[in-house]
Structure 1
Amino acid sequence: MEGLLIHAVVRELAGQLPLRSLGWAFPDEGTAALLLEGVGNLVLRYRPPNPILTVEPGRLGGEARTPFQRLLEARCKGRLVGLQQVKLDRVVLLEFEGEKGFVDVAPARLVFELTGRNANLMVCDLGGQILGIDRPVTPAINRFRELRPGLPYTPPPPYQKLDPRMLKPEALTPFVGQTFAQFLKHLDGVGKELGAELLRRAQLSPQTVLTAEHLPLIHRVIHSLVEQPQGRTPLSAALRANWEQEEAEALRKPLREALERQIKTLQARLQDYHRALERLEEATRLREWGDLLMAYGPQIPPGTVARLQDFSGQPVEIPLEKGLSPIQNARKFYERAKRLEANAEKALELFPQTEAQIGALEAELKRVEGLSRDELRAESRKLREKGPQTGLRFQSPGGFEVWVGRSSKENDLLTRMAHSEDLWFHAQGLPGSHVILRTQGQPAALPDLLYAAQLAAYHSRARGEKNVPVDYTAKKHVWRPRKAAPGQVLYTGGKTLFVDAEPPA
């Protein structure tokens, strides 16, 4: 990506700082997307050979997939307070404010080098020490510059070129007599694509030999290119398609696995039914043994084997259980035969039903494999809505969702599920529900706060009492101590509301 295009993105965002971060998404292993409130996704495509810095509308998705992405997500938090391009070089510095909470996250600087095949992304502290890097650079790779965690960040070596942002007309005079192509090599931030755009605007060819008459025109088109470059580098159609395919596969995978688990379970049942039918012959033999023992019982000597002749005159050896009489052994054989026959009868009844269920599941699996990304999103949403709901759900007067735990386990789960900027409520000093007001950092009006506080008071031991104190704080200030039972928490920065412990309107 060329320097002037990077400059256009940085210039657009720098005037809006500070910007609140709504979290990171990772569409693939080489892309990080920072969702900025009111702006969209600031996309950092940091794997060679074509790095990109651009702003995309909507909301991109994807969990952290690499150790570096997990570090980036953990260390680059809080508002984006700084965005700077080093000269017109392909290096951008993003500075994050950090976050206060039970475990504070210190301010951090993200260094993005968009240098073609050497593109890289690294997390540094404000002193410049590298905390994590996507692709470490060792002396074997670059003998002039080593980049790895623990070392101070060293920028790429500087070079002297004309800065088009501050270019004076007289600075062009030394290039009279050179071709336009030769002049472009001395212009910072302009690569192949912007060079072609500059030629188009000036209506000149690369071989045009510059004269003094060309200089005012060239100065004007360079100024226009700085103010309005061709446009920021777009995400390629192939990259978009790849992200959409990966998102579709991520949505399809749990649906596919759930269906495959059900099919596997039913196929195992079919195997059990086959075995039950095969054991019918064993049931017949057990009944014959029981009949022989009942017939010859008094004549059978003590031992572990009865050697008899069956009713057709053939010799038979029947194993006996030690300590039981022949009659008692016969009864056991009858019981086992009865169980085997019942299992076979049940298998015959369930066999066609189970085969039909497997057929339906296989058809559903085939349908899921053919669903588009949007259809998979709708399918996943339906499953979430049908699934069991954790806790009670309400809506505050201002439209915020409110969660109320009904047990210690639900209290623990809801508090862990909450956004770090959601508000957490609990009756002061009393056993009761954890209540979450789902603001996600948006300001909540007093009616919303009172609504959540009343729910916390009502779902506590103070139910029915008047003027109950309820503490509230941001969820990021709430933590569960080590070895504490579910639902037992500590918190800081709490404020108190006094409400009646009655259901809110």
Structure 2
Amino acid sequence: MKASDHMSFDGLFTHAMVTELRQNLLNGRIAKINQPYQNELILTVRANRKNWPLLLSADPTYPRIQVTEIPYINPAVPTNFAMMMRKYLQGAIITDIQQPANDRVVQLTITTRNELGDAEQLSLIIEIMARHSNVILIDQKTSRILDVVKHVGADQNRYRLLLPGATYIEPPKQDKLDPFKPNTDYLDLVKQYPNEDVLAKQLQQHYQGLGRDSAQQLAADLHQPGDLGQHYQAFLDQFDHPQATLLTLSNRKTMFAAGRFDHFGDQHREFDSLSHLLDFYYADAAQRERVQQQAGNLIRVVRNDLKKNRNKMKKLQQTLANTKQADELRLKGEILTTYLHEVKRGMTEISLPDYYHDNQPLKIQLSNQLSPSRNAQKYFSRYQKQKNAVIYVGEQIKLTQAEIDYLDNIQTQIELATPADIAEIREELTQQGYLKQRKTKKKQRSSRKPSQPQEFVASDGTEISVGKNNRQNDQLTLKTAHKTDYWLHTQKIPGSHVIIHSDDPSEQTLNEAANLAAYFSKARDSATVPVDYVQVRRIRKPNGAKPGFVIYEGQKTLYVSPNADIVEQLTPKK
């Protein structure tokens, strides 16, 4: 089992998380069970007079177990897996939470009553193993799998079947030592491998559950002067009293840890629980992943349509370049008409003085099948044809460019969307004819409330709204905002409509709103982004324009660097 490069949810972090979950959830009752996303289960556990939403995620990129406060959207129809979990776990009690031998596996022991009212013990197991991660419910007495979030058949894994009805076999054991069991092996390793990096690799191979980051930190600790036994013990003890820490690395990336990992840098921020730390750390990344899963077919459709339109644009521009010779055709027709008496039937070309350009000789091709006047006529009709083509191609280029801008904008909205926004983007693409109409029951469709723009509060208390899709953008700019409010948008870059609800915003509020406009745009990762701002009264939507498209004049422009910290500061506290 390979841990990721940095910030791994390794065996030690799992140990710390189990410590935290035991404190909060033991003897809690499972009140609600939801499966909002494909590989993720959320159990709402009622314990210590509080509701704890416990997330078990078998997401291949971000597998983990934690309590999460990030809101989620439930599918209208629960999945079969969610129905099975409800059947077995609804109202059951979590009587134990264990981690076998410092592995990345957590077992929740669940006591429930069967149909006859007899107590039964079930195990809900999460295996945190990158793309092999899984959530499995088994009957403790028989070790039979009742259900599993990802079915793994014999064709995928010969060693263990993960299917309902199969006997649960634990992940293959590795020949490694549980670091929490008393041992002195690390003393020999330090002697044998004086180099810190080599020692880290050896520790990782020798002990179970050390990700690369944990092994590097332990190697650094064992290289400190003083008693090695004390260093080793102190390193392990911190996972029994975890301190949720977010470190900023030298490459400006962040990493999470369950203790002081000072080997990686000292710039850090502490959280009151590991779960809060993970919510903060994963908020963006895990949302992206969920959106990718939910919007898979949207992303494909938009990408393909963009490609089609960009190819069409290339061809149109090529055609336009070819039609640039229209004026030359007219010129040749006129000169031929002027000197018609010099043209003889049967000629294939003639040189005549070009009176538009100092009577320079101009070579003109002729058809030997046509009379002189028909030759001149042919040049005029070709000129007319090309002139009409230029008008037509010009219109087509305008339409195709509008199509590209619209799809580019939708693509950006999908990239910045939360899972809740995806349904509305899908609806818009269906209305616009990019997606086939799905067969849905009438009732389901109307039951969903339209989502609202995201609200922020400037430092001076002014309210700022940010539209996250075209429906929200149109509603916000053209209906909700007062004519005297200020409207902001990234200049010539797809992004959100931003409204400052004030007719005289301070310079700081303008800058904060411009930062929001830049952050919620395609230019989120750019250093400097131009943002236009103008009063709402200066904005109009042309007839027949696509959703989200407006035109404006009289704007001023600010230049800002998108900054996630500012966005966080302006987000109203719940």
Please, what TM-score do these two structures have when normalized by structure 1? 0.44
Larger radius of gyration: 1
